[in-house]
Amino acid sequence: MKFGKRLKNQIQETLPEWHDKFLSYKDLKKLLRIISEDGKTEAKFIHLLHAEIDKFNAFFVEKEEDFIIRQKELQEKIRDIIATVGPQGTRASDIEYRSEIGKIRRDIVNFHGEMVLLENYSNVNYTGLAKILKKYDKRTGHLLRLPFIEKVLQQPFFTTELITKLVKECETTMDVVFFPEEEEVMKNIDGGKHDKKDTETDKKGIFRSTVVALETMRELRGGSSTYSHLSLPPMNLPDHLPLTTPTKSASFPIQCD
């Protein structure tokens, strides 16, 4: 699949409020087609590239800051529940404990999904920049791609160590709020024991977007014989994360209700 089509599909499948935050790949390609000897169009192309980097950084940093706050709030809620009605709580109650934990599961699931989407956002936009710069070098005979990408590698939107750490912490939190017997039930989703109505629900909203994002990251970061220092590193996903397309019944260790 050509990158332009892949990007279009990715934008359609992500959260609506994120649609205008992705690379303006189509606009860059239009400018590239009409680059002339006078250099005016070339200057517009370079200007748009820098504007796109600023856009990515502003959005990415804003989301990171929001995620840090939300992560702390969710962890505090869970600690409070465990301290009060948990097995060793001040007024321990298995029924109330399961009820209270159940109320915040959806928040945790959605939160995890949004962070995965942000990781994918970084991957997709970096890949788009690398591809459009490769086309630029080929068309103009200049060598802009290497120095430009070297700078991109230092940009906030490309530096995903923090968001990766938050994702792992959230997955640890999931281990706390999903009980062993429920996880065993979820393992049987693809075995035909998952209700059709539940499957349709799983395909909607952030769950669908997350599955699409994970599949995109797997494709963009798959092993390649042409791997270079400008390539995205191969991605090693935890075994419990979905890698099936959202058009099929997808296994996921959570109940999306």
Could you tell me the pTM of the whole model? 0.75
Contacts of 148 (CB under 8 A, 6+ apart): 49, 129, 133
Name, in order, each residue with C-beta under 8 angstroms of 153's C-beta and a sequence gap of 6 or more: none
**Gap between the Cα atoms of 249 and 191, Å rounded:** 10
Q: What is the pLDDT of residue 232?
A: 54
What Rg, from alpha-carbon coordinates, does the chain have?
Answer: 21
**Residue 174 structure tokens:** 């999931």
Query: Would you say residue 92 has pLDDT above 80?
Result: yes
Residue type, 58: A
Residue 60 is encoded by which pair of tokens? 């990415």
Structure-token pair, residue 77: 């809620």
pLDDT at 102: 86
Residue 67's pLDDT is what? 96
Sign of CA dihedral 186, 191, 195, 196: positive
Q: Which residues contact 160 (CB under 8 A, 6 or more apart)?
A: 119, 122
Residue 125 — pLDDT band, cuts 50, 70, 90?
A: very high
Model confidence over 168-227: pLDDT tens digits?
Answer: 999 888 887 876 644 443 344 334 444 444 434 344 567 677 777 777 777 766 544 444
More confident residue, 191 or 65: 65
Q: Residues with Cβ < 8 Å from 176, sequence gap 6 or more?
A: 78, 82
User: For residues 32 and 129, is the Cβ–Cβ distance under 8 A?
Assistant: no
pLDDT of residue 187: 45
Quick one: pLDDT at residue 228?
54
CA distance 46 to 39: 10
